[in-house]
Structure 1
Amino acid sequence: MLDSKYQKFHDEIVKKIERERIFTDKLHTLAYGTDASFYRLIPKIVIKTDNAKEVQDIIELSNSMNLSITFRAAGTSLSGQAISDSILIITSRKFSDFKISPDASFISLQPALTGAQVNGLLARYSKKIGPDPASINAAMIGGIAANNASGMCCGISQNSYKTLKSMKLIFADGAKLDTGCNESKEAFRKSHGEFLKSLKSFSDDTKNNEELKAKIERKFKIKNTCGYSLNALIDFSDEFEILEHLIIGSEGTLAFIEEITYYTVEDLKDKASSLIYFKDMNEACSAVTKLKLAKDANKITVDAVELMDRAGLKSIENDPAMPAFIKDFDENITALLIETRAISDKQLDIQTAQIEELLKEFSVVRDIYFTKDVAEYTLYWKIRKGLFPAVGAVRVTGTTVIIEDVAYPIECLAEATLELQELFKKHGYSEALIFGHALEGNFHFVFTQDFSDPKEIKRYDDLMNEVVHSVAVKYQGSLKAEHGTGRNMAAFIEIEWGYDAYIMMKKIKSLFDPKGLLNPGVIINDDAQAHLKNLKTLPATNEIVDKCIECGFCEPTCPSNELTLTPRQRIVINREISRLESIGNKKEAKEYKDLYQYDGIETCATCSLCSTACPVKIDTGSLTKHLRAEQISNTGKSIANFVANNFSATLKGVRFGLHSANFIHKVLGTPSMETMTKTFRDFSNSIPKWSVTMPIGTNIDLNFEQKVSDKKVVYFPSCLNRSMGLNAVSKEEKQLFETTVELLLKAGYQILFPENLSNLCCGMPFSSKGFNEAAHTKSSQLEQALLKVSNSGEYPVLCDTSPCTKKMMESFTKKINIYEPIEFALEFLTKDLEFTAIDEAITIHTTCSSRKMGLEDKFKTLATLCSTNVIIPADVKCCGFAGDRGFNFPELNKSALRHLKEQTAGAKMAFSTSKTCEIGLSEESGLDYNSIFYLINKVTKTKTL
């Protein structure tokens, strides 16, 4: 229950914002209130906002009632700046409008676009935004700007502060300002004249304080996100430029960023990277210093230098992408991952040669080698970006992973880093490792911490106090280089900056937020123990997900990320249930389980795309399958086993149902059919949703003429395509089975079919629901049948459905060469058939299974063989249909494909490799999605010898 003041706020805000986007229950406040940091506060109220007007309404209401608010985008923040114990405002993924200038020199962005999405929008112009944090695939623009996030290559020259053009802001009193609009600025000057006058006086006072001015200039020559961006006070004279640059890095404590306009930067395509191994840390840091000085003197071009110490290398040495010899390195070896970019391949060769020449004097344990191979250097950088979560994955279950973020002046880099290593040893953090953006003197150090033991917390505090004095006092560095102050370093700002600077920061906070209601406790916090309070534990729940550190990298890939919960949030709730059960609080645990059923279990697509984004491959879909299996009764298992053992009859029942639905549709017409089935579903959602894209029942006929040939292929039509045909409005004339047979015969194959085909299934319909025994039964039957017909794996096996193919690959124990449509077409049909690309615009959808099999790029290649105009929707991953889940939970499909129609505009034909996916895709796009085999059959003919 909410206390009276929050209840009053709630009762007022529901008049302006849909009740469905306002959360006060324990499940959603905990799930939505969790970020990537090692702190936890649980908000009283969480509100998902869709637009700036809603944010303004919340700010005005909370201001009138003296209630604090916190703004949050993706929640990849690492220092505790995206959590609240009051009102948490989340910018929903609908906050995603953008506008690119005609020459692409700048781009205006709402806060919920991820950095990767933005760079995708700019790619066609060979442009990108400056900031490039390791979390760019998940981090949203609002957080990137509010934290002044930088990253691997942008340094301090291309961060948000340096590439800012203008902003749209909402202030603590509800006032709005567009710094790119003269009319808006004039209106603000009239309404907030005293505010601007005070801001100007802050700037003048700082410029006149020679000692403070000199300190600011010196400290912002390196990365620094500790405290407010005081450099704005000395870099600019115009009040509005001062204001907007103060907002950068202010972590939601000064205003809400409604929109930001960035100047874009060139995205040079010619790149080369080298992973270089030095004999020790001192040698590597000395090399970095020389590289930095040479770059500053324009003697070399180097875009990024990432350091990884031996402990960091050890955490990733078992990754298949890493060279095997790393395992043989001694404990002192330190690596630098160096990248240089150029305007041409010829210039790239010159630049790599210059770097190699400069590094000749240093002791390396392997020859220096720069690679231009995109796949090779992309793997290196992917591993580097995933280093922090990867380290978290090897921690002891139940402990927390800590990542700190410091920067040193480049001239003392080696000395300071060696001292940092000694501090780890002194305090017993033997597992600690160091990595980071060495070219900017910016290092992250990572270690694991037990927050359940007061002695361990004391050890952590002792370490941090020594680190603070070493970094900020002795070496005059930054306690936070790019992760933001948050709660983590708020207690130490005065130690780093001194009295005068800290007082100025307090003045800034008071000017923008007189009542202290915007994200209190972040940046400005007088509690010297703030960094030790509200610490988050990560209790064990299930070994499938126990290694998760709640970084949030998984969230953009999840089809339910806007509808219910994300993989990270599902793990958060499961951990809380396990914690409650471990202390005997089964009543509250049961309450969470009941709340979790729909959000966590029913609307999880179990597509496992989360594992492809997770640096340590955590598969929350597998957790959901495990939980579903636990819920199955013995009766349910018996029914599943009966279905599995009478599968042919089951498919007949499916065909009968589809035929019946189609007959009724013909009689009633589409509008009446939709109304009737909607009425039935309003009564019970166990009744499948009907739509015009629902397939008609079909059967297959194995009796067709073919010649005996040395080229043999085993064709396994999935049970889906043996029972589900085209929909009633499809323009195609032949069923998929007929089309596939025609295509294979055209290519000169003799087609073989497994015995007892009508009773065969890969087992996926059972395993996705947790019926593991029945799934194993069907999978084993199919394996034996395919092994026999393929002559013990001699002939290739083609399955016409990608998800089924992947299930077979995962389940089979014998060596059988199994192909789904994409890979079969590229490996075999391109040799046997002549492709003539059509000019009609097509669109393709790569299924989750195909993505996990690494076929996304191959599908694009295949599509371009068939059409000169291929449209691939940028923001569509999993379709959310999830086998048959789309029939009973169509809202999951609808949410997952919310961008599909707009992003496939102009396409005339649409293709994929899974019947159920095609049902949902057709429903949400208005296009008729069919198997890619239809298109291949259309654009090919037999090669003439």
Structure 2
Amino acid sequence: MEYHQINDTDRENLRKFISEPERFVTEPTKHWDHDQFRTVTAMPELVIQPVTNQEVENVVKYASDHHIPLVPRGNSTGLMGANLSVDGGISLDMVKMNRILEYDPDGLTMTVQAGIRLKDIEEYLADKPFTYMPAPAMHWATIGGNVDTNAGGLKAIKYGVTREHIRELKVVLTNGKLYKFGSKAVKSSSGYSLKDLIIGSEGTLGVVTEVTLRLYPKPRKSINAIIPFPTLNDAIRSVPAILASGVVPTTVEFMGRKVINLWEKYADDEFPIKNGDGFIIMGLDSFTEEEWQAELKQALEAVKEFKAEDAVILSADSEEAKKIWKCREELLLAIQKSTPKMDEIDVCVPINHIPEVLDRIEELENELNIRIPNFGHAGDGNLHIYLCSDGMSDEEYAKTSDKVISELYKTAKSLDGNMSGEHGIGYARAGYYEDFYGHDYTELLRQVKKLFDPNEVVNPGKIFKM
């Protein structure tokens, strides 16, 4: 696809839609050329920071009518290059659309603009009886970015991923019209769910401008159990037993001593548990103390046969628990700090097949002489796997990474898994998509893309190749 390159006439016309000159950036800096990894960089020709739906409508329609690529952008915490302006054009930076529009405790909803950060939502709800349950580790990510990638997070087992917590979206399509998809009503059996099509589409179908969130009453009791095991494999094999026991944890995370050692160096701190090489972090929440105690007893009984050592039980608001969760949430940053260049694989497989993926990772480490630290969500089978360049040349790293990615995608596919559990496909993995899911399936997605975006201007080149 050949796109129109922005000229002075375009700048003059587009500038009319934006009332404040500081929100119209004609000379973008490196702030706008990367995502969290900086593995690939791409500079937009123009950055526009809208603050109203009308501004978004005007800019999107102009871009479509004039065949200018337009990429919605949040706080650049993504890992797969979904926010990169790989074809130039306009970076539609949504971070100034960051207002809370409505707090409706009686309807258990809250409506916000797409550029608001998770951190800001958490702070707003801190003194209120309700909470937004999804808990991605990147608290400075925008809610629009979470919607676009259907972000998961630490509480997905019990409460589900982002999709389960979105009641309504407002989305600008390439015809310049603002559509409302979904409603505040809890249930719908009323035709196609376009809301759910937009969620997870990585900004390739339209621009999300407003999000109505589902709120939950805050649990009365929350505890964490950190269970050490002799090996990480022992820890992982215990998870199906926990879930089959009838316990419904809020969280079941896994991590090994290797990545914890990296965090200790990164944070200049010590992990509070010294025994064990593999760990399960299990969170429980409940209405009463008796509930969590009964669930905890059942879960700890279930893991005994997997060589579980004595669990450390902590109140969720204790300093020790906060340190353990801080470690978990900073693992990505710790790994990134340990190597010159890093890439990620975000496969998701059935939980009983996680050990097979971990075994394949170990084989590839030995076979290709590359360090591949990993951790993830044991309760839903979502593994975060990192490829570290260390002393490799750029050429060697690119070749080795492609081999590892291809092999782990083969493993995930053979186990009836998916390419990504929560980080999306973006630009970085678009070249692998059709091989994984097949031509007919991908062709159907191309037809959906063409229906929503006939000129292929909204976030082109992402998820799959057109």
Q: TM-score, normalised by structure 1?
A: 0.46
Residue from 403, 410, 424 that aligns with 2:365: 424
Q: 1:170 maps to which residue?
A: 172
Quick one: which amino acid aligns to residue 106 of structure 2?
A: D
Quick one: which amino acid aligns to residue 277 of structure 1?
A: P
Q: How many residue pairs get matched?
A: 453
Q: 1:323 maps to which residue?
A: 272
The structural deviation recorded for 1:497 is 2.1
Quick one: which amino acid aligns to residue 283 of structure 1?
A: D
1:514 match: secondary structure = coil
1:495 match: secondary structure = helix
Whether 2:43 is the aligned partner of 1:42: answer: yes
- Assess if the C-alpha contact under 8 Å between 1:150 and 1:156 holds in 2: no
1:78 match: secondary structure = coil
For 1:641-660, list aligned pairs within 5 A: none
The structural deviation recorded for 1:179 is 3.0
Quick one: which amino acid aligns to residue 353 of structure 1?
A: K
The structural deviation recorded for 1:381 is 0.7
- Assess if the C-alpha contact under 8 Å between 1:29 and 1:43 holds in 2: no
Whether 2:154 is the aligned partner of 1:152: answer: yes
**Cα deviation per residue 1:342-367 (whole Å; 9 max; x = unaligned)?**
21233222222222111121213x42
Take 2:388 and 2:182, find their aligned partners in 1: how far apart are those partners? 45
- Assess if the C-alpha contact under 8 Å between 2:149 and 2:423 holds in 1: yes
Take 2:306 and 2:127, find their aligned partners in 1: how far apart are those partners? 40
Residue from 335, 346, 349 that aligns with 1:391: 335
Residue from 342, 348, 353 that aligns with 1:407: 348
Q: 2:314 maps to which residue?
A: 371
1:520 match: secondary structure = coil
Residue from 328, 334, 343 that aligns with 2:278: 334
* Change in CA separation of 1:352 and 1:70 when aligned onto 2, cut-off 3 Å: same
* Change in CA separation of 1:71 and 1:65 when aligned onto 2, cut-off 3 Å: same
Residue from 429, 436, 439 that aligns with 1:499: 439
The structural deviation recorded for 1:464 is 1.2
Take 2:290 and 2:180, find their aligned partners in 1: how far apart are those partners? 44
Quick one: which amino acid aligns to residue 402 of structure 2?
A: D
Q: 1:457 maps to which residue?
A: 398
Take 2:269 and 2:257, find their aligned partners in 1: how far apart are those partners? 18
* Change in CA separation of 1:323 and 1:270 when aligned onto 2, cut-off 3 Å: same
Please tell me whether Structure 1 or Structure 2 has the larger radius of gyration of its CA atoms.
1
Q: 1:291 maps to which residue?
A: 242
1:406 match: secondary structure = coil
Take 2:9 and 2:341, find their aligned partners in 1: how far apart are those partners? 37
The structural deviation recorded for 1:104 is 5.2
**Cα deviation per residue 1:50-93 (whole Å; 9 max; x = unaligned)?**
22111111111111211010001111111100110221010133
Q: 1:88 maps to which residue?
A: 91
* Change in CA separation of 1:180 and 1:148 when aligned onto 2, cut-off 3 Å: closer
Whether 2:31 is the aligned partner of 1:31: answer: yes
Quick one: which amino acid aligns to residue 29 of structure 1?
A: T
- Assess if the C-alpha contact under 8 Å between 2:51 and 2:97 holds in 1: yes
Instruction: Provide structure 2 residue ranges, at least 5 long, that are not aligned to the other structure.
Output: none
1:370 match: secondary structure = strand
Percent of aligned pairs sharing the same letter: 25
Quick one: which amino acid aligns to residue 63 of structure 1?
A: S
Take 2:5 and 2:310, find their aligned partners in 1: how far apart are those partners? 69
1:75 match: secondary structure = coil
Take 2:248 and 2:161, find their aligned partners in 1: how far apart are those partners? 19
**Cα deviation per residue 1:536-594 (whole Å; 9 max; x = unaligned)?**
xxxxxxxxxxxxxxxxxxxxxxxxxxxxxxxxxxxxxxxxxxxxxxxxxxxxxxxxxxx
Instruction: Provide structure 1 residue ranges, at least 5 long, that are not aligned to the other structure.
Output: 183-234, 527-945
- Assess if the C-alpha contact under 8 Å between 2:5 and 2:89 holds in 1: no
Q: 1:307 maps to which residue?
A: 254
The structural deviation recorded for 1:308 is 0.7
Q: 1:69 maps to which residue?
A: 70
* Change in CA separation of 1:466 and 1:236 when aligned onto 2, cut-off 3 Å: farther
For 1:148-547, list aligned pairs within 5 A: 148-155=150-157, 157-179=159-181, 238-239=190-191, 241-294=192-245, 299-318=246-265, 319-323=268-272, 325=274, 333-364=277-308, 366-372=309-315, 374-395=318-339, 399-429=340-370, 431-449=371-389, 453-472=394-413, 474-525=414-465
**Cα deviation per residue 1:188-207 (whole Å; 9 max; x = unaligned)?**
xxxxxxxxxxxxxxxxxxxx
**Cα deviation per residue 1:733-783 (whole Å; 9 max; x = unaligned)?**
xxxxxxxxxxxxxxxxxxxxxxxxxxxxxxxxxxxxxxxxxxxxxxxxxxx
Residue from 108, 112, 115 that aligns with 1:112: 115
Take 2:222 and 2:134, find their aligned partners in 1: how far apart are those partners? 18
Take 1:58 and 1:387, find their aligned partners in 2: how far apart are those partners? 38
Q: 2:130 maps to which residue?
A: 127
Quick one: which amino acid aligns to residue 153 of structure 1?
A: K
The structural deviation recorded for 1:39 is 1.9
- Assess if the C-alpha contact under 8 Å between 2:157 and 2:249 holds in 1: no
1:151 match: secondary structure = coil
Take 1:126 and 1:368, find their aligned partners in 2: how far apart are those partners? 31
* Change in CA separation of 1:338 and 1:180 when aligned onto 2, cut-off 3 Å: closer
The structural deviation recorded for 1:467 is 1.3
**Cα deviation per residue 1:769-823 (whole Å; 9 max; x = unaligned)?**
xxxxxxxxxxxxxxxxxxxxxxxxxxxxxxxxxxxxxxxxxxxxxxxxxxxxxxx
The structural deviation recorded for 1:321 is 4.4
For 1:657-668, list aligned pairs within 5 A: none
* Change in CA separation of 1:82 and 1:445 when aligned onto 2, cut-off 3 Å: same
The structural deviation recorded for 1:315 is 1.0
- Assess if the C-alpha contact under 8 Å between 1:303 and 1:339 holds in 2: yes
The structural deviation recorded for 1:158 is 2.6
Quick one: which amino acid aligns to residue 444 of structure 2?
A: M
Quick one: which amino acid aligns to residue 114 of structure 1?
A: R
For 1:700-711, list aligned pairs within 5 A: none
The structural deviation recorded for 1:442 is 0.8
Take 2:448 and 2:133, find their aligned partners in 1: how far apart are those partners? 27
* Change in CA separation of 1:525 and 1:98 when aligned onto 2, cut-off 3 Å: same
Judging by fraction of residues, say which structure has more strand. Answer: 2
Judging by fraction of residues, say which structure has more helix. Answer: 1
For 1:929-944, list aligned pairs within 5 A: none
The structural deviation recorded for 1:277 is 1.8
1:371 match: secondary structure = strand
* Change in CA separation of 1:485 and 1:504 when aligned onto 2, cut-off 3 Å: same
The structural deviation recorded for 1:488 is 2.1
- Assess if the C-alpha contact under 8 Å between 1:115 and 1:139 holds in 2: yes
Q: 1:682 maps to which residue?
A: none
Quick one: which amino acid aligns to residue 502 of structure 1?
A: T
Take 1:161 and 1:417, find their aligned partners in 2: how far apart are those partners? 28
Quick one: which amino acid aligns to residue 202 of structure 2?
A: E
Higher relative contact order (CA 8 A, sep 6+): 2
* Change in CA separation of 1:420 and 1:237 when aligned onto 2, cut-off 3 Å: farther
Take 2:80 and 2:178, find their aligned partners in 1: how far apart are those partners? 28
* Change in CA separation of 1:148 and 1:253 when aligned onto 2, cut-off 3 Å: same
- Assess if the C-alpha contact under 8 Å between 1:160 and 1:262 holds in 2: no
Take 1:180 and 1:285, find their aligned partners in 2: how far apart are those partners? 38
- Assess if the C-alpha contact under 8 Å between 2:434 and 2:464 holds in 1: no
